[in-house]
Amino acid sequence: MTQHIKPTVKLALLVTISLGATACFGTKPKNEYFYFLKAPAVAKANAKGVALSVGDFTASPGYTNQRIAYRERENELRYYAYRSWVSAPPALMAAAVVRHMLASGRFSRVDRGERIKDPLALLEGHIEAIEEIDKDNQTLAHLAMTFVLRDASSERELLRHSFDRTFPVTRRHPHDVAQAMSKLLNIELRRLADRIAQAVK
């Protein structure tokens, strides 16, 4: 038996289908933005320096996520929906460390893992925090890390370098936070390169 649909019901169905089609095809997609840590691009090899291998880095819970983390409350961590690092923080940081150590002019070679044969020392790192902090109308970039330098053959610890620092950001925006993170990292890695060079003499 053929069912007859009332005109008002037909109109409602047409409007619903039309709105659904608009939602699927008529809206602009959300833009995604990816950020990296700025590091020197120029390598300065030192023939008298040692070969340094940079191992895999780790991160505390909450900071392995590729999305940029921020905190408005001390015990609550949030993430930007469409703002991310170009890679997860452990990989992001390890790559930045390689570039900084190469640019320091302290080492003959610097690279990741097995790319260097018979390195003298191995550098490992752990990220305690990499985040934006929003507190009392102020935005801060917060970076906390621990580096451990080991003898590559014996795995004996040669050096430990830790820091927990914040840097003021002019506006609440991931772009500015990434720039502040880069400045923090630049300061600490220059110190670390000097300390490593002394430790492996």
Model pLDDT, residue 26? 58
Q: Are 54 and 112 in contact (CB under 8 A)?
A: yes
E strands in 36-156: 51-54, 58-59, 67-73, 76-85, 109-112, 121-135, 138-151
Whether the predicted pLDDT of 53 surpasses 50:
yes
For the stretch 10-34, pLDDT in tens is: 434 333 444 444 444 557 778 999 9
User: pLDDT at position 12, please?
Assistant: 42
Dihedral angle of Cα 128, 172, 41, 187, to the nearest 10 degrees: -50
pLDDT band at 116 (very low <50, low <70, confident <90, very high): confident
Higher pLDDT, 16 or 162: 162
Mean pLDDT rounded to a whole number for the chain: 87
pLDDT of 49 above 90 = no
The more confidently predicted of residues 9 and 171 is 171
Q: Which residues are registered as beta bridge partners of 123?
A: 54, 149
pLDDT at 8 over 50: no
What pLDDT score does 9 carry? Answer: 41
Helices 174-199 + 89-103 axis angle, to 10? 50
> Domain residues of the chain, as ranges?
33-199
- Tokens 């880069």 identify what position? 182
137-158 tens-digit pLDDT: 899 999 999 999 999 999 999 9
- Please say whether the beta carbons of 85 and 35 come within 8 A: yes
84-100, pLDDT tens digit by residue?
999 999 999 999 999 99
Superfamily the domain 33-199 falls into: ABC-type transport auxiliary lipoprotein component (3.40.50.10610)
